[in-house]
Structure 1
Amino acid sequence: MPVAVRAVRLGLCPYAAAVRAQDRCVGLARDGAESVVLSEPARPVYAWGLRGAPSAAAAAALRARGAGLAAVRRGGHITFHGPGQLLAFPVLDLRRRRLPLRRYVEALQALVLGLCRRLGLPAARALPPPLTGVWVRDSKLCAIGVHCGHYITSHGLALNCCTDLSWFDHIVPCGLEGKGVTSLSHELGQHVTVDEVLQPFLDSFQEVFDCTFVFPEDPED
């Protein structure tokens, strides 16, 4: 029987608010309630995980461009989050699902690949480890960076829908020299919003993680 997962839809909101909602969901997951937090960053933010923090001078330069800065508990180097991007933070119990962390990351990639097929982008692909995410040619469409503590996942993926890709020009995205960044809008040749992607994303999530969704009326619940 499919597991029920709470879909917490925050819409356009600050990156920090999405992280706080995720942290509340981590507490609920310890009591058995799984969630996925979905949002679109309201303002530009550069975030980095356990590696790749910018130097003080580089951080000051990014801040001068009008972006926020955030250090977060996940794997991966610095990347960009901003309007036009779908952020998805699945908060799942890998022990209950009997899912090793490596296979969980592969499941996130499969989820986005399924979404791309639904949208008419069969050229999207996953690359062999240690590269993660979803790519079109040598350009990353979706970044993946996760944290897992006591078998509970947090953070997750950032899918470029109609993101202003010029924000990536000021960093080495995910620490990968010589690789590009792309978006659904660029690849499909039409403006694709986060709202338009949300339902096919949920459909693909249900398919990959064998779940059904419940939608809390209040995202704070």
Structure 2
Amino acid sequence: MPVRKATLRVVNLGRICYHSALKIQQQHIKQHLESCSTPPNTLLLCEHEPIYTTGIRRAPYNLKEEQRLQALGADFCRTNRGGLITFHGPGQLVCYPILDLGCFKKSIRWYVCELERTVISMCRMFGIEATTSPDTGVWVGENKICAIGIHCGRYITSHGLALNCNTDLTWFQHIVPCGIVGKGVTSLSQELGRDVTLGEATPKLLEAFTEQFNCTLTYDLNSVETQ
């Protein structure tokens, strides 16, 4: 943990298409890499329109597979994050931390573990016992409740986590989520047997983030940043 608390700016992008959110991430990364001053570490929160995304380990999602998924009514994007294919869509809380790990700990492995612990702590606030596994992400039994896939260049992080709140889980039936055969997906709503909205989950995720990363937040959850 850092000796001094870092301050993170929280920006709520609202519901936004994946490609627009990606551009905003790139703008924040550029600020970190090119600014003479120290840009703020930022948490970008959002919800996406339906889209399947793949990471740097892309096989076997070739053009034919891409077209098959697009025919379902979702977009498709190849990205530079870690991991294989996953789904983003309405009812899923997506958090993109754009952090300079020099303000925390210069360890990618540490960072991914802290993201997992953050979500586990948040799930505990809901009375859900979540765990890690040899596979990245956060799990409830054999079902993944939160996918994690990041990119890190010069210790500046991007991409992040996607937590299923009241997501339509049938979208995942058309893929092998994260390339893991024999396991499923779940959501806060499915585990609790009631509707859990992003509005209910977001404050708990932020609370868990501040505790796990020993940081303070400055934010306006009603503001929306545009590209």
Alignment TM-score, normalising by the size of structure 2: 0.91
Whether 1:89 and 2:93 are equivalent positions in the alignment is: no
* Equivalent position of 2:53 in the other structure: 47
Q: What is the aligned partner in structure 2 of residue 65 from structure 1?
A: 72
Is residue 26 of structure 1 aligned with residue 32 of structure 2?
no
Q: What is the letter of the counterpart of residue 131 of structure 2?
A: R
Deviation of the 1:69 alpha carbon: 0.5
* Root mean square deviation of aligned Cα: 1.5
Please identify runs of 4+ aligned residues in structure 1 that moved more than 3 A: none
Give the AA of the match of 1:99.
Answer: K
Query: Do 2:8 and 2:41's aligned partners in 1 also have CA atoms closer than 8 Å?
Result: yes
Give me the whole-angstrom Cα distance separating, in 1, the residues matched to 2:74 and 2:224.
Answer: 29
| 1:117 lines up with 2:124 in the alignment | yes
Gaps of 5+ in 2: none
Conserved in 2, the CA contact under 8 Å of 1:52 and 1:175?
A: no
Q: State the identity %.
A: 46
1:103 aligned residue:
110
Q: What's the CA shift for 1:28? A: 2.8
Aligned pair partner of 2:20 in 9, 17, 21: 17
Query: Which of 202, 205, 209 is the equivalent residue of 2:206?
Result: 202
Scaled by the length of structure 1, the TM-score of the pair is 0.93
Partner of 1:174: 178
Preserved contact between residue 13 and residue 224 of structure 2 (Cα < 8 Å): no
1:158 aligns with 2:162: yes
Higher mean C-alpha displacement, 7-16 vs 163-172 = 7-16
What amino acid is aligned across from residue 162 of structure 2 in structure 1? A
Correspondence 1:215 to 2:219:
yes
Between the aligned partners of 2:167 and 2:105, the Cα distance in structure 1 is 35
210-219 or 77-86: which moved more?
210-219
**How many Å apart are 1:72 and its aligned residue?**
1.1
What residue in structure 2 maps to residue 134 of structure 1? 138
